[in-house]
Structure 1
Amino acid sequence: MFRKRAGAAAGALLLATSLALTACSGSGSDDESGGDAKTLTLWHYEGPTSAMGVAWNKAIEIFKQKHPGVEVKFEQKGFEQIQQNAQMILNSDSAPDIMEYNKGNATAGLLSKQGLLTDLSDEAAKHGWDKKLSSSLQTTAKYDDQGIMGSGKWFGVPNYGEYVTVYYNQDLFKKYNLQVPATLDEFTKVMDAFVAKGVTPLSVGGAEYPAQQIFYELALSQADRAFVDDYQLYKNKVDFHGPQLTYGATTFADWVKKGYIAKNSAGIKAEDMGVAWEQGKFPILISGSWWYGRFVSEVKNFAWGTFLFPGNKLHPGSSGNLWVVPEKSKAKALAYDFIDITMQPEVQNLLGNSGGLPVAADPAAITDPKNKAQIEEFNKISGADGLAFYPDWPAPGYYDVLVGGVQGLINGSKTPSAFLDEIAKPYQENLADLGK
């Protein structure tokens, strides 16, 4: 996925235009089940060359063949456009019939709690989605009455996986006689070697999600499953000045001081971060598997590979984003059918062969060695209970809090201690709202 932040005015204009267009066109019949609907309005934010974009386009093609009398109105949205405006969109009569949405307590969980998403529990059993998804991948599909993930009703269906890994330029590693690091200490020595040659090691997008994932990787290097369950699932109180988060914040700030992270990266967006790495301007990029298919397609001037964040047993990652059906959808039956198509072998195998992480593919059908290796790596992490979700999930609005906080660590306007205080406040306020 490529998460783009539009300016406030541009975002408002895009939203207003989208709502007006959808309101004029309608979404189908007034039949609540959508059985007689003649239009399916579908929103997602995957780039057309990404593995998910390729697979979902195939799913749309299959859907059209299966429903020749139905028009599919597909609209590509920006991640942040939906992230920031979802409540307003889904609480209007202009909601789409099906949409891709971010998973977690602060996003899908919040919308489910507000009654804006359709309960998919019966459909999950009817179509066998509950059999195709492992228990760890079902964590983000289910939410209880308080919007906390992991139990309760199905409010979304993930059909791919994702995790954060380290992309590296093999040609630059070879040029400076550097080896893939196996430990965090070895990783810092690799980055020291690049800095000594005048090369900034990490391509970082501080204006969006990538920088906070580096902070979380560092915190996870000191963490165990109990910490993740406490932080993400509220099983016990979290000490924001405890060893895990303190290490993450202080080490991140230290990486900036050492020149591993450029100070101007506080204003860099994820897209620009990825393009800079594709152009060979930085040897290393720490980000999600959603970039993988795009890099396979677009990186032509150097050899590259990946390795897991050195030394970590826990990694940011989870199921992929969710297909959700807004409660106000006018074509629910069609939406359920589209979800089921994305879970079928033809689409799942294409997803895997395009560089994605399918949840229900035939392993023998994945032909590309790199793609097969990535899928095996994800399955290994998932099988070892190594998916630690993402740092912005625990509280509504937490994504923006973390973006601003980590930007402060990059530009030096916040100390690690002040940063931890800043991110602790909304987290603890959310716990109070939940009565925990």
Structure 2
Amino acid sequence: MKSVIGRRRVRGAAVLATAPLLVIISACSSGSSSTGGGKDGEIRMMVNLTDNLDQAYWKKLVKPFEDKTGLKVKIEGPSGKSVAESFPQQLAAGTAPDVIQSIFPDDDTAPELVDLSGESWTKGTPMFENYAMGKKHYAVGIGEQIQSLVFYNKDAFKKAKISKTPTTWDELATDMDKLKKAGLTAMQTAGDFETGLQLQQIYHPALNQAHPKWQTAVSDKKLKVGDAYKPMFQMYADWIKKGYIAKSDAGLDPSQADGNFIAGKAGMYVNGSWFAATLDQAKDLPFEVGVFSPPTDGKAYPGPQGATMATPYMVRKGASSESDAKKLVKYLVTDKAAIKGQLGADGVFREDGTGAGKPTATDTQVQDILTKAPELVAVGEGMGNVRLPVTGFNPKFTEIAQSLYTGKSPADAAKAIDQWVDENR
């Protein structure tokens, strides 16, 4: 998502984009036969509205398109709690919009969406191939949000006499011990979604080298999630036991955790690339920020980066005018000014290095990690053809990660996630 709502706003969008649709509506198929009620020459677009991505932002973004084409774009927020919740409900009711922003297709909604594979303008857009379902492509976006990043306080590292960033788990543990002895929270964390998300984020580069496309391996019953994550559960439990992570921080709102890091109270903070925007907005930090890719423990370094397509758009099949809807999406993902505006508003990066404007020092470091990443890999439940055989994985994983704070053993945590996957396949 950004949570920094004030600052949480950036994270909110990312989390929505990362999570597959969790609401399954059996009547979804009814949506393809209705138009959703758009006026002639009007394109209805449902978007994720946040503090910074508000109605004024979206109207300004689409105005050049309206001026050029004579078409009108009606910006709509979700009718429920989120776009992910609202879109399936509106499909069932026959009131779904023409263009949907911020979420990805799943097996239930894909039949209701336009396959964009044949559109020449989609080729080469960020992560287009990563989100293929079979041979079809329903989502197209404007950039990448990488998620396996460790933001760190360079001044704190100097105080703790840490001369270089770690590339192995042993080095990371040694550094956390030095930071603790220097009087800092070694690794900042938070409650809500962030507990489980961080554990996944820091483990992506190592996990995806040990088990490439691990979500597919789980789907094919060649790997258990518990076997894949048990080493990380063990390390995480050790960090909690040694006080490198404050137990009380598991109850913090993510925006409070952001504030702790920004105030210089923590040495390291695992987060996604959207956090760079939070730091940019904070300005005048009392320390210099560094960013590094997590350890890979003896394997090739840096490792693969967990990533999601940023600001995805989809077109509904049976829209009042599929042609006009596709024109709008083409504008949003290919027009240079439109791309620049979206990159700047939501802390998004592009693998090709094009950006929103003059980058900050933090932006430059994140861009360098993205550029050097050997591969961008699926996170959580997965993306496109690389997916787990369950939905709702991220909330359950967070629940299990939080149980490590209350004494559940790493072995029991691994058994719990395997049991849940087996019961929900």
- Normalising by structure 1, we get a TM-score of 0.74
Q: Which amino acid aligns with 1:288?
A: G
Measure the CA separation in 2 of the matches of 1:127 and 1:47: 34
In the alignment, what sits opposite 1:99? Answer: 100
Q: Which amino acid aligns with 2:176?
A: M
Structure 2 unmatched ranges of 5 or more:
9-33, 297-301, 383-387
User: Displacement of 1:417 after TM fit?
Assistant: 1.9
Task: Encode CA deviations 1:329-364: one digit per residue, 9 max, x unaligned.
Answer: 54544432232122222233445566421367757x
1:319-330 to structure 2, matched below 5 A, reads 319-327=309-317, 329-330=319-320
User: Displacement of 1:282 after TM fit?
Assistant: 2.2
Give secondary structure in 1 for the equivalent of 2:377.
coil
User: Displacement of 1:220 after TM fit?
Assistant: 4.1
Measure the CA separation in 2 of the matches of 1:238 and 1:226: 11
Q: Are positions 1:181 and 2:165 aligned together?
A: yes
Q: Which amino acid aligns with 1:388?
A: V
In the alignment, what sits opposite 2:421? Answer: 427
In the alignment, what sits opposite 1:162? Answer: 145
User: Displacement of 1:377 after TM fit?
Assistant: 2.3
In the alignment, what sits opposite 2:22? Answer: none
Measure the CA separation in 2 of the matches of 1:327 and 1:2: 31
Which of 371, 384, 388 matches 1:379?
371
Q: Are positions 1:399 and 2:399 aligned together?
A: no
User: Displacement of 1:405 after TM fit?
Assistant: 1.2
Measure the CA separation in 2 of the matches of 1:132 and 1:420: 37
8 Å contact from structure 1 (residues 167, 284) kept in 2: yes
Give secondary structure in 1 for the equivalent of 2:305.
coil
Give secondary structure in 1 for the equivalent of 2:271.
strand
Measure the CA separation in 2 of the matches of 1:77 and 1:47: 17
User: Displacement of 1:251 after TM fit?
Assistant: 0.9
Give secondary structure in 2 for the equivalent of 1:306.
strand
Give secondary structure in 2 for the equivalent of 1:253.
helix
8 Å contact from structure 2 (residues 35, 318) kept in 1: no
8 Å contact from structure 2 (residues 132, 138) kept in 1: yes
Measure the CA separation in 2 of the matches of 1:415 and 1:180: 32
Task: Encode CA deviations 1:187-236: one digit per residue, 9 max, x unaligned.
Answer: 2222111212332122212311x322332245446434472323246355
User: Displacement of 1:160 after TM fit?
Assistant: 1.1
User: Displacement of 1:130 after TM fit?
Assistant: 2.1
- Normalising by structure 2, we get a TM-score of 0.76
Measure the CA separation in 1 of the matches of 2:343 and 2:252: 30
Q: Are positions 1:36 and 2:40 aligned together?
A: yes
Task: Encode CA deviations 1:252-290: one digit per residue, 9 max, x unaligned.
Answer: 111111112222233333333223322333232101111
Give secondary structure in 1 for the equivalent of 2:264.
coil
In the alignment, what sits opposite 1:109? Answer: 106
Percent of counterpart pairs with the same letter?
18
Q: Which amino acid aligns with 1:2?
A: K
Give secondary structure in 2 for the equivalent of 1:280.
coil
In the alignment, what sits opposite 2:379? Answer: 390
State the superposition RMSD in angstroms.
Answer: 3.5
8 Å contact from structure 1 (residues 366, 372) kept in 2: no
- Comparing 395-404 and 336-345, the one that deviates more: 336-345
User: Displacement of 1:240 after TM fit?
Assistant: 3.6
8 Å contact from structure 2 (residues 145, 309) kept in 1: yes
User: Displacement of 1:293 after TM fit?
Assistant: 1.9
Alignment CA distance shift 1:332-1:280 (3 Å):
farther
Give secondary structure in 2 for the equivalent of 1:228.
coil
Measure the CA separation in 1 of the matches of 2:173 and 2:308: 27
Q: Give the number of equivalent residue pairs.
A: 379
In the alignment, what sits opposite 1:316? Answer: 306
Structure 1 unmatched ranges of 5 or more:
6-29, 144-150, 432-436
